Structure formats: C-alpha cells, structure tokens
Structure 1
Amino acid sequence: MTGIRPRRRGDRGSASVAIAIVFPAVAVLFLALAQAVMLAAAHQVALASAEEGLRVARAHDHTMDQGKSTALAFAHHEPVLIGPSVTASGTTTITVTVRGQAPSLLPGVHLSTTGTAAGVRERFTTPGPP
C-alpha cells in the first residue's frame, strides 16, 4: 500500500463544513445581484415612460394631460414597474416624472425608483425681423 495515506481524524467532514459556510454567502450575493437587475430594469421602464410622456406633452398640438396618460400607459405596459404614478409640470420647459416600485425578491422590502425627462415645449415661429 504505497502512496495511500490514512485519513486523519480531524479531516473528517471538512469539505461539508466549508460548503455550509460558503453557500449562504454565495446565495446572498446571487439574490443581491438579481435584486439589482430588477431595480435597474424598473428604473429603465420609469425613464422610458417619462421620455415617452415628454415626447407627447411637448408637441405643439398636445396637452400636459395627454403626456401624462401616455407615460402612464407606457409604464403599465411593462410589468416590471409596480404602481407607477406620473406627474408633469412646466409651461415652456416641461418635466415629466414617473415613480414606481421594483419587484422585490424579499418580502416586506420596497425599492422605489424614479425616471425624469425634461424638454422645451415646441412652438412655431415665423421668420422675419425680431
């Protein structure tokens, strides 16, 4: 029996202990990464909704309410933004803000996100002397 060493008494189960210590840390890191992805996706939907609402609200023949309803419809179309709400303000410079929550992987945790877009209202001018 050359080359085979008998197992020591202290070595028994050391791999199981190492796995029991490392696995929870890896699981927490995985959950944190997945939650970060959910939050980033919800933020992108909020921002895209605000930009879409701004596009409509700043048009020459549209109203602020039309921009708000467009932003809300866009936000409701994507299920990753929970409970969206829209505010719009301004006369010459319009600001549309969409707020909502990201889905949570942990019960009782609420992660809010906001997307804001601002732009100048379209207006027609006539060429000529000032």
Structure 2
Amino acid sequence: MMTLRSWWRPDAGSASVAIAIVFPAVALLLLALAQAVLVSVARDVALAAAEEGLRAARAHHGTPAQGHAAALAFARAEPVLQTPKTTVTGQNTIIVRVSGYAPSLLPGVRIDVTRTARGARERFTVPGQP
C-alpha cells in the first residue's frame, strides 16, 4: 500500500523548471557567440579588402581608382561584409578605408564595421638623387 508520504515528493518537476530557466540563458549565450563571430569575420574581411586596395593604389603606377576598384572587388567577393564602401585618399601616403556592416542575427540591429590601411606610395630612387 502506498502512503501519502511516498507518493508526494516536494521536488517533483523541479528539473523541468530548472531547464525552463537555464535553456533561454544558454540559447542567448550561443546567439551572442555566433554574433561575435560574424562581427569578427566582417572586420577581418574589411581589413583584408583595405590592404588589397592599398597594394593596388600604392604600386609604382597605381592610381586611387585602381585601389578603390581592388578593395571593392575584394569586399564584394565575401558576403559577410554587407554593402561595402571604399574610399582612397592621399598622394604620398595612401589611405584606404573600407566600411560596411556585419550580418545580424537579430532583426533591426545594424553593426557597422570600418577598417583602414595606410602606406607610403612606392617610388623608385637612384642613389645620390633626392
């Protein structure tokens, strides 16, 4: 015969409640981790695109237009940097700035990404001449 004490347990169902409390926190943590990875990759792509544009623009016969085209082509080839924009400025020191935004896992959230690369224009010199 079953007694009332053995049939009723005060902690019955506590595991379900604990899971209901912990699961959203774990899911939010995983979502934040995935978002951080997307932002990090978008920053890496923006920096690599800026460096590619810098290589093209600072070459001996390179132009800012060539740097702009190279940076934009590189950025557009990687879908993780959305709506990329590039600017190339400078005469002796070339500055290439690539901006866009990272994909967001939350609707309506926009995380801007901007990276800059700079370097001296390549020029050939002859010893003894300025």
Query: Which runs of no fewer than 5 residues in structure 1 stay unpaired?
Result: none
TM-score (normalised: structure 1)? 0.92
Shift of 1:10: 1.7
TM alignment of 1:50-69, pairs within 5 A: 50-69=50-69
TM alignment of 1:44-83, pairs within 5 A: 44-83=44-83
Shift of 1:9: 3.1
Other structure's SS at 1:9 match: coil
Query: Partner letter of residue 108 of structure 2?
Result: G
2:111 match = 111
Query: Partner letter of residue 81 of structure 1?
Result: L
Give, in whole Å, the separation in 2 of the partners of 1:64 and 1:31: 40
TM-score (normalised: structure 2)? 0.92
2:40 match = 40
Q: Could you give the per-residue CA deviations for residues 63-112 of structure 1, whole angstroms, max 9, x where no partner exists?
A: 00100010000000000000000011111111100001101000000011
Other structure's SS at 1:62 match: coil
Query: Partner letter of residue 96 of structure 2?
Result: V
Residues 63 and 107 (structure 1 numbering): CA distance in 2 closer, same or farther, change over 3 Å? Answer: same
Moved beyond 2 Å, runs of 4+: 5-9
Size of the aligned set, in residue pairs, is 126
Give, in whole Å, the separation in 2 of the partners of 1:42 and 1:75: 9
Residues 11 and 90 (structure 1 numbering): CA distance in 2 closer, same or farther, change over 3 Å? Answer: same
Identity %: 64
Residues 114 and 7 (structure 1 numbering): CA distance in 2 closer, same or farther, change over 3 Å? Answer: farther
RMSD: 1.4
Other structure's SS at 2:6 match: coil
Query: Which runs of no fewer than 5 residues in structure 2 stay unpaired?
Result: none
Give, in whole Å, the separation in 1 of the partners of 2:46 and 2:129: 43
Does 2:100 align with 1:100? yes
